[in-house]
Every structure is written in structure tokens, then in C-alpha cells.
């Protein structure tokens, strides 16, 4: 209620934080006055990959369901400062690196070359330049598909790779799994299922 009192039509909502913060305030920005300006400022490597200025989906979990309350609201821009990554622990950094793995599997090319020279060589000990390049290339992949499929109904569903099992793990009682970890495990599960179903190898 306090937010509703303070906000005006010209208010700019700028969430600074990880994915939960970004989604909560993104949803609020889309609802207030039927949509006010939103500037995403991600502080985690994982959220930076989700904070593309063309990414419209804003949603929160409710009553045990993932992303059940949400809407489409386009951010005005995304401000990304990779120095925030220096505050992340190993677990949080690995969660973001799962996005690099996903892009390498989906797109190959420069995404595969990137993961070869970063995580496959250095693990989580990446330099500032490595993280800047990884963020830039990752956002480029997302923006490329969202330009064609802005509401992620068709081609951009590629980004849901690993999410079916990943979301199930996140919501399983007794299992403590972050979103990034869940999606990474989900990609392995999807590959295993695909293999068992006889899908051809690339």
C-alpha cells in the first residue's frame, strides 16, 4: 500500500537486486497506473541474463505455483554493472554460469567458444572481462529471439530449456534448489529423457 501512495504516473521503478526483486517490482510497475516506467538493475549473474531490455515477462510465485501471477511489461532499459558479481558466492555464480551452458547447447558458435574459454577452462574463477563478455553475449542471444517472439510463445520458448524439471525441483518439499541450479539439473534431465526417447544426436 505504501508503494501505491508514493507512486505517480511519472514514477520510475528501478529494482536493484536478484531475480525475485526484479520480478516483484516488475509486476508492480506493470500494474500501477496500467504501467509505469521500469528500469532493471540486476546484481546477480543469473538475473542479468534475464534482464534484457526486451524481456517482457514479469511474474511471481503464489500458493505453490511458479510464475502464476504475472503480466507482460517492457522495461524502459536495463542497467547492468558487472562489478556487482564480485559480491556473489560460488553457488550464486554457478547458477548464472548455467545460463552460459544453456546458450552453448542451444546456439553453439560464439556461445560454445565462450564457455570453452571460460567455465571449461577456469571454472568459476572468471575475470571481470570474462563476465562482461559473457553478459553481453548472453543478452544478445535473448534480444535476438525476443525481437522475433516478444511474448515467448514460439521460437523464444527455447529459453525454457531445463525449466520444466527445474521448476519442479524448486517447488519440491525437502529439496533446496535455487532457480539456476534447478535449470542446470533440468537441462541434464531433458537431455537424458530425449536420449531415452530415441532423439537423434546432433
Question: Above 60 in pLDDT, residue 121?
Answer: yes
Question: Above 60 in pLDDT, residue 185?
Answer: yes
Please, what is the average pLDDT of the chain? 89
Q: How far apart are CA 157 and CA 169, in angstroms?
A: 20
pLDDT band at 94 (very low <50, low <70, confident <90, very high): confident
> What pLDDT score was predicted for residue 1?
55
> What pLDDT score was predicted for residue 77?
92
Q: Is 154 exposed, middle or buried (0-12, 13-18, 19+ CB in 10 A)?
A: exposed
Among residues 66, 99, 160, 170, the one annotated as catalytic is: 160
Cα dihedral 78, 46, 84, 31 sign:
positive
pLDDT band at 53 (very low <50, low <70, confident <90, very high): low
Among residues 57, 94, 102, 142, the one annotated as catalytic is: 57
Among candidates 92, 85, 119, 122, which has minimal Cα distance to 105?
119
Domains and CATH numbers, the chain: 2-161 (3.40.50)
**What average pLDDT score do residues 55-81 get?**
93
> What pLDDT score was predicted for residue 82?
93
Tell me the backbone φ, ψ of residue 128, rounded to 5 degrees: -60, -40
User: Does an H or E element contain 60, and which?
Assistant: strand 57-62
Do the Cβ atoms of 95 and 84 come closer than 8 Å?
A: no
pTM of the model: 0.87
Instruction: For residue 120, give the 3-state DSSP assignment.
Output: helix
Question: Above 90 in pLDDT, residue 37?
Answer: yes
**160 a catalytic residue:** yes
**94 a catalytic residue:** no
Amino acid at each position: 500500500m505504501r508503494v501505491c501512495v508514493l507512486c505517480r504516473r511519472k514514477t520510475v521503478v528501478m529494482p536493484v537486486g536478484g531475480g525475485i526483486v526484479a520480478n516483484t517490482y516488475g509486476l508492480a510497475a506493470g500494474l500501477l497506473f496500467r504501467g509505469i516506467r521500469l528500469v532493471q538493475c540486476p546484481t546477480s549473474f543469473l538475473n542479468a541474463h534475464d534482464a534484457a531490455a526486451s524481456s517482457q515477462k514479469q511474474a511471481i510465485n503464489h500458493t505453490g505455483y511458479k510464475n502464476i501471477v504475472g503480466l507482460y511489461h517492457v522495461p524502459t532499459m536495463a542497467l547492468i554493472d558487472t562489478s556487482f558479481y564480485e559480491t556473489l558466492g560460488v553457488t550464486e555464480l554457478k547458477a548464472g554460469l548455467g545460463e552460459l551452458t544453456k546458450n552453448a547447447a542451444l546456439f553453439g558458435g560464439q556461445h560454445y567458444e565462450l564457455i570453452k574459454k571460460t567455465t571449461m577452462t577456469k571454472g568459476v574463477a572468471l575475470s571481470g572481462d570474462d563476465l562482461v563478455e559473457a553478459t553481453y553475449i548472453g543478452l544478445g542471444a535473448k534480444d535476438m529471439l525476443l525481437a522475433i517472439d516478444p511474448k515467448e510463445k514460439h521460437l523464444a520458448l527455447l529459453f525454457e530449456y531445463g525449466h520444466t524439471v527445474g521448476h519442479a525441483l524448486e517447488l519440491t518439499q525437502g529439496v533446496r534448489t535455487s532457480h539456476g541450479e534447478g535449470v542446470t539439473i533440468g537441462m541434464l534431465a531433458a537431455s537424458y529423457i530425449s536420449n531415452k526417447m530415441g532423439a537423434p544426436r546432433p
